[in-house]
Amino acid sequence: MAEGERQSPPDSSEDIPPATQNFIIPKKEIHTVPDMGKWKRSQAYADYIGFILTLNEGVKGKKLTFEYKVSEAIEKLVALLNTLDRWIDETPPVDQPSRFGNKAYRTWYGKLDEEAENLVATVVPTHLAAAVPEVAVYLKESVGNSTRIDYGTGHEAAFAAFLCCLCKIGVLRVDDQIAIVFKVFNRYLEVMRKLQKTYRMEPAGSQGVWGLDDFQFLPFIWGSSQLIDHPYLEPRHFVDEKAVNENHKDYMFLECILFITEMKTGPFAEHSNQLWNISAVPSWSKVNQGLIRMYKAECLEKFPVIQHFKFGSLLPIHPVTSC
C-alpha cells in the first residue's frame, strides 16, 4: 500500500469550481458489499484519502502549541463548533431508565438538522452559497446517528469529508492545513467527546470494532505523525501515565490516550488491546504508516462503515478521472 501513502491530492487552491457548477445533495451509493469496488475506484475515495495524507504530512513533527496561521475561515469553523458545544449545555440529559443513549441527544441533533445550512452559510462566502446545501449534509452526518444514538469512525469520516469539501470549493486553502487539524479538527474532537459523555452515546459498529478506540481513528494517525522524530517520546511511552499527563496538551495522540483512560477502567492492555500492541512498534514513523494501512483496511474498506457515506458533486462516486 506504500504507493497510496505518497499519492498527492488535488491542490485545493486550484480546485475552486466554476460558478456554473451544479451542486447536488449527497446521497448513499454503496448499497451492497459488491458496491465497495465502486467506492475504491471513485474520485471521492482518491480525494478523501489524498486529503487525509496531505494533512498527515502537514502536521509531521509539530506540537499542537506550534505557531501557525489562522485564517478567517478557520475562525468561523471554530465558531460553528462552539455553537454545537453551547447547544449541548442548553440540552441537558433527561432522566430515563436505560443508562446509555440519552434521548436528549435527539433534541440536540434536531437543532443541528434544522440549522446546519445556516451554520455552514456563516463559513461559506455568498458567491458560493449554492454549495451550502451539499456541504451541510456532511456536517449533519458527522455528529452521530440520532436513531441509534451512536457515534463511530464513519461519522468522523463525514467530518473529514466536510472539511475536504470546504477545501474543494476554495473556502479552506493550502496554507490552512495545520490549522485544519490543530484548530478545527481538535475542537471537533472536544465537542464529540462532550457529546459522547453527556448523552452516553454507544460506539457505532459492534463496540467500536472499526476503530482503535470506541469512537475515533484520525487523531491517532495525525497524532502519530506529530510525534515522528520526537527527541525522547517513543511509542512505548504512550502507555506510561506520567508521559501522557506531561505531554497530552502538545500531542493529539496522547490526548486520545488520556480520554480513553478517563472513560475506561482496568488494565490498558485489556480495554484497548490494539493500541497496547502498537506501543511495541519501534518508531512513530512505523506507527504512522501502519495506522494509515489499518485505516484503509478497517474503516475505508469495511462495508458497515462506508454504506453510510454520501456522494455528491464535490465527492463523486464516478471513477477517478485521469489527468
User: What's the confidence (pLDDT) of residue 211?
Assistant: 61
Supply the pTM of this predicted model: 0.92
User: What's the confidence (pLDDT) of residue 322?
Assistant: 65
CA distance 291 to 275: 10
Asked, for residue 319, whether it belongs to a domain, the answer is no
CA distance 314 to 166: 9
Comparing C-alpha atoms, which of 80, 91, 102, 79 is closest to residue 197? 102
SS3 195: helix
Given CA atoms 295, 167, 35, 7 in this order, what sign does their dihedral have?
Answer: negative
Mean pLDDT of all residues belonging to the chain? 92
153-189 per-position pLDDT tens digit: 999 999 999 999 999 999 999 999 999 999 999 999 9
Q: In this structure, are residues 138 and 156 in contact, taking their beta carbons and an 8 Å threshold?
A: no
Asked, for residue 181, whether it belongs to a domain, the answer is yes
Average confidence (pLDDT) over 103-124: 98
243-285 per-position pLDDT tens digit: 999 999 999 999 999 999 988 888 888 888 889 999 999 999 9
Asked, for residue 3, whether it belongs to a domain, the answer is no
Asked, for residue 98, whether it belongs to a domain, the answer is yes
43-82 per-position pLDDT tens digit: 999 999 999 999 999 999 999 999 999 999 999 999 999 9
What cell was used for 105?
A: 441527544
SS3 34: helix
| Domain that residue 150 falls in | 31-304
Average confidence (pLDDT) over 272-300: 95
pLDDT band at 190 (very low <50, low <70, confident <90, very high): very high
Asked, for residue 321, whether it belongs to a domain, the answer is no
Average confidence (pLDDT) over 5-25: 57
Asked, for residue 322, whether it belongs to a domain, the answer is no
Whether 17 shows a pLDDT value over 90: the answer reads no
User: What's the confidence (pLDDT) of residue 14?
Assistant: 42
Asked, for residue 214, whether it belongs to a domain, the answer is yes
Q: Which element (helix H / strand E) includes 66?
A: none
CA distance 26 to 310: 5
Question: Count of domains in the chain?
Answer: 1
Helix extents (H) in 65-217: 72-90, 104-121, 132-141, 153-168, 177-179, 186-198
> Rounded to the nearest 5 degrees, what angle is found at the Cα of 291, between the Cα atoms of 290 and 293?
65
Comparing C-alpha atoms, which of 118, 180, 116 is closest to residue 146? 116
Given CA atoms 212, 217, 221, 224 in this order, what sign does their dihedral have?
Answer: negative
Asked, for residue 165, whether it belongs to a domain, the answer is yes
Q: In this structure, are residues 64 and 182 in contact, taking their beta carbons and an 8 Å threshold?
A: yes
User: What's the confidence (pLDDT) of residue 1?
Assistant: 37
Whether 19 shows a pLDDT value over 80: the answer reads no
199-225 per-position pLDDT tens digit: 999 988 754 455 678 899 999 999 999
The packing angle between helices 43-58 and 218-226, to 10°, is: 40
User: What's the confidence (pLDDT) of residue 270?
Assistant: 87
Residue 170 is part of a domain; what is its CATH number? 1.20.120.1150
CA distance 61 to 56: 10
User: What's the confidence (pLDDT) of residue 206?
Assistant: 55
Whether 30 shows a pLDDT value over 80: the answer reads yes
